[in-house]
């Protein structure tokens, strides 16, 4: 068979292990490429420990390139799957250029997205626990609350700063609550004006019990343990809405808080929604070989996929649950099926019986079930750590996490609070005479306003002749792409934009610009008028050109 | 003597060690408080190792509260020193409220600031090496360049991405260059499309030699070592300007690069510039007891202070150099003098002969001088690590840094690249009916535009009667304080702003809003007209009220 290009989207459990197995089985005869917006793999179950400061963010992750020798790796945002032409459009590099990647076989392992839009205010005010940045942010937020509560003289504000609410009683919510309690309690010795009695930690779950993944007996044990440690549980109660100072529950309680952690609300990503197939339960429906129904040459696994398992005894359909254990087993089975396909052997349906599941609840305790045996307490916790250390890919990461655990056991928890590492969103750029500000086809990273100097835009006149339009102080660029076109589609700028003399521009980040222009009437009106007078052709559909033709990047 | 309130500003070497000694000597009878915008201490000389990934950012720092038992600690931005009234105004908390702190004795240890305004384009495009966020950003930037260079097909872009330029040949510049070279070389095994020959690393120094702090022989040795490792040195050449794609030197060379690290351009901070004394060499001139000339009850040390040492043999004046070694010795001497003052004993002038100095240049080599003996090579490097480990405050940090060094020696360098942990600058906030949006006297964290709902502003009419002004969709708040008043002075909002129904607002960060409004003509014009028609009293000076009277925070 001719050399095939196998493209894997996503660097989570499913994607990474699938690429690894594919490389092993097929790497000699075919090309495997993995695309992910981050260049590292993060072991999702450890996120609560990162949020609680047990493990450093930098130690909880493994570089993908080191994990995947032989696999071509590309750090890029995945923007659009053009299935008809067997291409994936990604945005890569410092200059944000759109690059099309062609494929013969496509593996989608890009997971799900958090969607909190059903709960007014939660989208705006809730912290999440989905990725490493979320965990890091939660940790800094908690320490910020302690720092502020230690110096404020306002009792109401202090109470609010010291109330911590977690929404969702699944694995992620329970682990986060437990770890958070341990962190808060252990940090108190450094905050002389805060006592444990002033701290309120609450777990809110819509179902009448926590940990639906585990038997009821273990859930009860966990609830008892958490209660003993002073954690309040609100079960059978949904969250209705939130603001920056409180959470409102379905039964009308208003809980004042500065910290809401949402572990609820998983939904499909924009990438999946844009595909020409109907999603089932917000996921890509596959057959039992991982092939996406209705899309040839496309496979899916992990949280993004709805994978059938053999029916249960009563003939009811079953599907693979979205856990790390399943994802890593799916990865192996998918890779083998891909090999079967390429070597024209029959494919094998997926089935897997998990070993069990364990949840750490902080303070050296865990709960779970292994090989059908219920486990709880310190022994389960040691098993949990051993098991997870085993699952962690990469020897270096295992060692680093192990050292973190050891240090955390021996020493007080660190209470360092990092500033956000961010640049201000609006930043100045300087161009020397002759510098290219935009390449043809380049997606502007934001809205450009000229502070001083002159830019020249290469344009085509109605007679087909090229000419240079000059722009000076106060004039701006990028509004068309930012306000009108579908995100991720190449801009219709005719040609390059060049600095005709030394020029400084202010760039406002695209997301900020869009949000601000949308809600601020003076700006909205200004751009409406501006676009009407400057781009009368604006409402006509713009043909998408293949950017590969124009730029090499 | 009556109980005195001693306020220390700044959490660097000078501030932290001074507060520690003050607590030991005077903590029983007086109150010591330290204010710093971060709640951690960072050991400045380790920053190049953080930038090169030898040490995790999280392991290179120590929590200030753990370092300073007994000292009251406050995490806050220091905004203004009101010396006449013996008060320091700080901005603290999530809601950014201005709080005045009174003092009997003030110790200024707030260091210097980077000022690159003399070099067009450097301000906008150079990375810095001043604090932990800088080091972290540099590391992520370097890895980003490697990721991009590995997948691009544009040879010019690749060359630019793989050219790394450091400006400044002092300790910081040389160490950063050396560490960077080691990091790049060791990371290459993970980037199959990049060879060492494609990487260009340059050090540019205005003086004809590097390391002016050390004898010429050692500087020559260092230069030779760096050259052997393929680092180019441009000596006796200043930097003229920069853009996002190149550096221009004084002698007219244009060096294409995507990475400029500036270790040059130290200058006084805004805080010092606003003080009612003349700065000397950009610093606060003190007498030899650390008392600031012309300001009673105010002391200064570290990089912020110009501290006289005994004259040299030829009668020429000498000043304490801005090094960690000097700062920690100054801290002890200052604390003792403070004790002498408070117990009415004579003060002692400062003098100190440093043990020596060492610079690590990466690849297991260092150079330096100790007790008058010149040292270089691997032995000096081991000495450097031992010496710095000894100077690191806090056992936990020593251990963590030690482990990082050990792991780095044994394993490949990690190439994980973190996204910026930032929130978008323009974010939505939701308020429930009755929620307070602004307290009286609260500094707006940005520019508020109402997306939906209604806000009520409590105002005073000309008759002295209070009334509520309502504001709806598209109306905005915060522009007066953001556009007009001196940053950090309390806003003149008459009363509280409350949500009259469920309300969503979009907040644009203050810095972004200021920059954007300043350069975008349509907005500038809009606000000029808006303020003229809405606040006719706008140009009158607004009396600064004491916020303590109104809010407890």
Three-state secondary structure along A382-411? HHHHHHHHHHCCCHHHHHHHHHHHHHHHHC
Q: How far is B321 from B302, CA to CA, in rounded Å?
A: 9
Looking at the fold, whether B171 and B274 belong to one and the same domain comes out as no
In the predicted model, what is the mean pLDDT of chain B?
87
Looking at the fold, whether B321 and B435 belong to one and the same domain comes out as no
Which one of B124, B190, B404, B421 makes the best mutation probe of the A interface by having the most chain A beta carbons within 10 Å? B421
CB A82 within 8 A of CB A68: no
User: Using CA of residue A59, residue A60, residue A65, residue A68, what is the dihedral sign?
Assistant: positive
Q: Is the pLDDT of residue B347 over 60?
A: yes
A494 touches chain B (CB under 8 A): no
Cross-strand partners of B146: none
Which of A125-139, A326-340, B1-15, B426-440 is predicted with the least confidence, judged by mean pLDDT? B426-440
Question: Per-residue confidence at B496, pLDDT binned at 50, 70, 90?
Answer: confident
Say if the Cβ atoms of A58 and B56 lie within 8 Å.
yes
Q: Which residues of A touch B245 (CB under 8 A)?
A: 435
Residue B242 Cα distances to A547, B200, B245, angstroms: 29, 17, 8
Q: How far is A333 from A262, CA to CA, in rounded Å?
A: 33
CB B76 within 8 A of CB B35: yes
Question: Per-residue confidence at A370, pLDDT binned at 50, 70, 90?
Answer: confident
User: Using CA of residue A26, residue A27, residue A33, residue A39, what is the dihedral sign?
Assistant: positive
Residue predicted with more confidence, B537 or A210: A210
Q: Is the pLDDT of residue A524 over 90?
A: no
Nearest of B313, B266, B91, B32 to residue B172 by alpha carbon: B266
Looking at the fold, whether B462 and B491 belong to one and the same domain comes out as yes
Which token pair is A458? 């290469």
Nearest of A31, A227, A240 to residue A120 by alpha carbon: A240
- Can you give the pLDDT at residue A543? 42
Q: Is the ipTM of this complex over 0.90?
A: no
- Can you give the pLDDT at residue B96? 64
Question: A44: which DSSP letter?
Answer: G
Looking up tokens 């949280």, which residue turns up?
A: A303
Number of domains in chain A: 3
Q: Give the highest mean pLDDT range of A44-48, A511-515, B79-83.
A: B79-83
* Three-state helix/strand/coil letters over B361-419: CCCCCEEEEECCEEEEEHHHHHHHHHHHHHHCCCHHHHHHHHHHHHHHHHCCCCCCCCC
Q: Is the pLDDT of residue B531 over 80?
A: no
CB-based burial of residue B346 (10 Å sphere; 0-12 exposed, 13-18 middle, 19+ buried)? exposed
Which of A52-66, A222-236, B481-495 is predicted with the least confidence, judged by mean pLDDT? B481-495
Residues 6+ apart with CB under 8 A from A384: A358, A359, A360, A366, A368
Say if the Cβ atoms of A425 and B92 lie within 8 Å.
no
Q: How far is B310 from B322, CA to CA, in rounded Å?
A: 16
- Can you give the pLDDT at residue B547? 40
B454 touches chain A (CB under 8 A): no
- Can you give the pLDDT at residue A383? 87
Looking at the fold, whether B261 and B337 belong to one and the same domain comes out as no
Looking up tokens 């600058």, which residue turns up?
A: B425
B525: in domain? yes
Pairing of strands B308-309, B318-319: antiparallel
CB-based burial of residue A544 (10 Å sphere; 0-12 exposed, 13-18 middle, 19+ buried)? middle
> Nearest CA to CA, how far is A59 from chain B (Å)?
8
Q: How far is A444 from A446, CA to CA, in rounded Å?
A: 5
Q: Is the pLDDT of residue B61 over 50?
A: yes
Looking at the fold, whether A9 and A99 belong to one and the same domain comes out as yes
Give the Cα-Cα-Cα angle B408, A38, B131 (nearest 5 degrees).
55
Question: Per-residue confidence at B545, pLDDT binned at 50, 70, 90?
Answer: very low
B120 → closest Cβ in A59, A429, A430: A430
Number of DSSP helices (H) and strands (E) in chain A, helices first? 15, 35
Domain carrying residue A455? 427-549
Cross-strand partners of B392: none
Q: What is the pLDDT of residues B394-425, one digit of tens each?
A: 787 888 888 888 888 877 777 777 665 455 67
Looking at the fold, whether B451 and B542 belong to one and the same domain comes out as yes
Say if the Cβ atoms of B417 and A38 lie within 8 Å.
yes
Residue A255 Cα distances to A240, A473, A479, B138, angstroms: 11, 51, 42, 42
B320: in domain? yes
- Can you give the pLDDT at residue B552? 38
Q: Is the pLDDT of residue A126 over 90?
A: yes
Question: Per-residue confidence at B535, pLDDT binned at 50, 70, 90?
Answer: low
Looking at the fold, whether B280 and B379 belong to one and the same domain comes out as no
Question: Among all residues of chain B, which has the CA nearest to that of A42?
Answer: B416
What CATH number corresponds to the domain at position A320?
3.50.50.60
Looking at the fold, whether B190 and B258 belong to one and the same domain comes out as yes
A117: in domain? no
Question: Per-residue confidence at A170, pLDDT binned at 50, 70, 90?
Answer: very high
Q: How far is B42 from B61, CA to CA, in rounded Å?
A: 5
Q: Which residues of B touch A242 (CB under 8 A)?
A: 430
Residue predicted with more confidence, A417 or A493: A417
Cβ–Cβ pairs < 8 A, chains A and B: 279
Q: What is the pLDDT of residues A90-102, one digit of tens each?
A: 988 766 677 899 9
- Can you give the pLDDT at residue B424? 62
Q: How far is A181 from A187, CA to CA, in rounded Å?
A: 10
Q: How far is B305 from B287, CA to CA, in rounded Å?
A: 10
Question: Per-residue confidence at A418, pLDDT binned at 50, 70, 90?
Answer: low
Residue B53: φ, ψ to 5°: 80, 10
CB A336 within 8 A of CB A343: no
B33 touches chain A (CB under 8 A): no
What CATH number corresponds to the domain at position B534?
2.60.120.10
Sheet holding B476-477, edge to edge: B427-431, B503-509, B446-452, B476-477
Question: Per-residue confidence at A423, pLDDT binned at 50, 70, 90?
Answer: low
Which one of A54, A135, A138, A151 makes the best mutation probe of the B interface by having the most chain B beta carbons within 10 Å? A151
Nearest of A132, A164, A126, A166 to residue A145 by alpha carbon: A164
Question: Per-residue confidence at A349, pLDDT binned at 50, 70, 90?
Answer: very high
B534 touches chain A (CB under 8 A): no
Question: Per-residue confidence at B193, pLDDT binned at 50, 70, 90?
Answer: very high
B368: in domain? yes
Question: Among all residues of chain B, which has the CA nearest to that of A476?
Answer: B520
Question: Per-residue confidence at B494, pLDDT binned at 50, 70, 90?
Answer: low
Q: What is the pLDDT of residues A427-450, one digit of tens each?
A: 888 888 888 888 776 777 788 999
> What's the distance, Cα to Cα, between the start and end of chain A in Å?
30
CA dihedral angle for residue B214, residue B218, residue B222, residue B227, rounded to 10 degrees? 130
Q: Which of residues 106 through 165 in chain B touch A, CB cutoff 8 A?
A: 120-121, 123-125, 132-133, 136-137, 143-145, 147-148, 150-154, 157, 161
Looking at the fold, whether B260 and B278 belong to one and the same domain comes out as no
B70 touches chain A (CB under 8 A): no
In the predicted model, what is the mean pLDDT of chain A?
87
B522 touches chain A (CB under 8 A): yes
Which one of A519, A529, A530, A551 makes the best mutation probe of the B interface by having the most chain B beta carbons within 10 Å? A519
Looking up tokens 């032989």, which residue turns up?
A: A70
Where does a domain end: A326, A354, A382? A354
Residue B186 Cα distances to B45, B191, B362, B363, B369, angstroms: 22, 10, 12, 10, 29
| Mean pLDDT in residue range B47-52 | 90
Q: Is the pLDDT of residue A533 over 90?
A: no
> Nearest CA to CA, how far is A311 from chain B (Å)?
42
Looking at the fold, whether B347 and B368 belong to one and the same domain comes out as no
Q: Which residues of B touch A121 (CB under 8 A)?
A: 430, 432
What CATH number corresponds to the domain at position A370?
3.50.50.100
> Nearest CA to CA, how far is A158 from chain B (Å)?
9
* Three-state helix/strand/coil letters over A256-318: ECCEEEECCCEECCHHHHCCCCCCECCEEEECCCCEECCCCCEEECHHHEECEECCCCCCCCE
Residues 6+ apart with CB under 8 A from A37: A11, A75, A76, A77, A78, B419
Residue B482: φ, ψ to 5°: -75, -35
Residue predicted with more confidence, A402 or B534: A402
- Can you give the pLDDT at residue A350? 97
B532: in domain? yes
Give the Cα-Cα-Cα angle A497, A501, A507 (nearest 5 degrees).
55
Which token pair is A477? 């660029």
B427 touches chain A (CB under 8 A): yes
Looking up tokens 């290459």, which residue turns up?
A: B188
Where does a domain end: A367, A385, A410? A410
Say if the Cβ atoms of B421 and A65 lie within 8 Å.
no
- Can you give the pLDDT at residue A544? 41
Q: How far is A448 from A503, CA to CA, in rounded Å?
A: 12
Q: Which of residues 499 through 518 in chain A touch B, CB cutoff 8 A?
A: 502, 504, 506, 508-509, 511-512, 515-516
Question: Per-residue confidence at B548, pLDDT binned at 50, 70, 90?
Answer: very low
Q: Is the pLDDT of residue B489 over 80?
A: no
Q: Is the pLDDT of residue B526 over 90?
A: no
Residues 6+ apart with CB under 8 A from B419: A37, A38, A133
- Can you give the pLDDT at residue B106? 98
Say if the Cβ atoms of A424 and B425 lie within 8 Å.
yes
B423 touches chain A (CB under 8 A): yes
Q: Which of residues 224 through 283 in chain A touch B, CB cutoff 8 A?
A: 241-246, 248, 254, 258
Where does a domain end: A354, A372, A389? A354
Q: How far is B124 from B140, CA to CA, in rounded Å?
A: 18
Question: Per-residue confidence at B543, pLDDT binned at 50, 70, 90?
Answer: very low
Question: Per-residue confidence at B6, pLDDT binned at 50, 70, 90?
Answer: very high
B168: in domain? yes
Looking at the fold, whether A379 and A234 belong to one and the same domain comes out as yes
Cross-strand partners of A367: A359, A376
Q: Is the pLDDT of residue B549 over 60?
A: no
Question: Per-residue confidence at B551, pLDDT binned at 50, 70, 90?
Answer: very low
Q: Is A174 helix (H, G, I), strand (E, B) or coil?
A: helix
Q: Is the pLDDT of residue B74 over 50?
A: yes
Which token pair is A291? 């092939």
- Can you give the pLDDT at residue A363? 83
Looking at the fold, whether A149 and A194 belong to one and the same domain comes out as yes
Residues 6+ apart with CB under 8 A from B305: B14, B108, B283, B284, B285, B286, B290, B292, B320, B330
- Can you give the pLDDT at residue A95? 60
B183: in domain? yes
Q: What is the pLDDT of residues B209-257, one digit of tens each?
A: 999 888 898 899 999 999 999 999 999 999 999 988 899 999 999 999 9
pTM, two decimal places: 0.84
Question: Among all residues of chain A, which has the CA nearest to that of B74?
Answer: A151
Say if the Cβ atoms of A120 and B506 lie within 8 Å.
no
A69: in domain? no
């Amino acid at each position: 068979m001719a050399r095939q290009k196998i493209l894997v989207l996503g660097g989570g459990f499913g994607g990474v292990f699938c690429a690894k197995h594919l490389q092993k089985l097929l790497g000699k005869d075919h090309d495997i490429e993995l695309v992910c917006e981050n260049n590292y793999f993060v072991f999702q179950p450890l996120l609560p420990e990162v949020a609680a400061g047990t493990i450093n963010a930098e130690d909880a992750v493994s570089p993908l390139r080191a994990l995947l020798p032989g696999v071509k790796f590309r750090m890029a945002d995945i923007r659009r799957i053009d299935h008809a032409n067997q291409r994936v459009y990604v945005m890569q590099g410092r200059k944000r250029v759109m690059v099309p990647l062609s494929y013969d076989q496509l593996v989608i392992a890009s997971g799900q997205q958090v969607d909190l839009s059903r709960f007014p205010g939660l989208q705006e005010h809730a912290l999440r626990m989905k990725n490493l940045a979320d965990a890091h942010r939660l940790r800094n937020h908690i320490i910020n609350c302690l720092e502020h509560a230690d110096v404020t003289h306002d009792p109401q504000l202090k109470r609010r700063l010291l109330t911590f609410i977690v929404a969702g009683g699944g694995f992620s919510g329970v682990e986060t609550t437990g770890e958070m309690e341990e962190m808060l309690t252990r940090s108190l010795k450094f905050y002389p004006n805060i006592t444990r009695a002033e701290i309120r930690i609450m777990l809110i779950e819509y179902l009448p019990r926590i940990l639906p993944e585990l038997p009821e007996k273990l859930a009860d044990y966990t609830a008892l343990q958490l209660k003993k440690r002073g954690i309040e549980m609100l079960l059978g109660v949904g969250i209705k809405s939130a603001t920056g100072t409180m959470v409102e529950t379905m039964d009308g309680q208003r809980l004042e808080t500065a910290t809401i952690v949402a572990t609820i609300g998983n939904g499909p990503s924009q990438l999946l929604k844009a595909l020409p197939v109907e999603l089932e339960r917000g996921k890509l429906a596959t057959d039992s070989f991982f092939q996406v129904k209705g899309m040839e040459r496309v496979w899916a696994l992990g949280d993004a996929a709805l994978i059938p398992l053999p029916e249960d005894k009563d003939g009811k359909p079953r599907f693979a649950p979205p856990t790390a254990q399943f994802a890593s087993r799916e990865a192996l089975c998918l890779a083998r099926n891909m090999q079967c396909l390429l070597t024209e052997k029959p494919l094998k349906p997926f089935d897997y019986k998990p070993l069990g599941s364990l949840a750490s609840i902080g303070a050296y305790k865990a709960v779970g079930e292994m090989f059908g045996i219920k486990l709880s307490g310190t022994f389960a916790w040691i098993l949990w750590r051993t098991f997870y250390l085993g699952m962690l890919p990469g020897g270096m990461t295992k060692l680093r996490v192990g050292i973190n655990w050891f240090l955390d056991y021996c020493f007080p928890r660190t209470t360092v609070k990092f500033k956000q590492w961010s640049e201000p969103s609006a930043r100045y750029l300087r161009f020397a005479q002759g510098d290219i500000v935009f390449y043809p086809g380049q997606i502007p990273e934001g809205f450009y306003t000229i502070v001083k100097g002159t830019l020249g835009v290469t344009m085509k006149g109605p007679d087909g002749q090229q000419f240079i339009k000059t722009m000076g102080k106060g004039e701006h660029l990028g509004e068309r792409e930012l306000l009108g076109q579908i995100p991720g589609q190449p801009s219709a700028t005719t040609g390059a934009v060049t600095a005709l003399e030394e020029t400084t521009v202010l760039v406002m980040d695209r997301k900020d610009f869009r949000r601000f222009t949308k809600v601020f009437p003076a700006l909205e009106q200004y751009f409406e008028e501006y676009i009407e007078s400057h781009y009368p052709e604006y409402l006509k559909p713009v043909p998408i050109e293949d950017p590969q033709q124009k730029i090499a990047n």
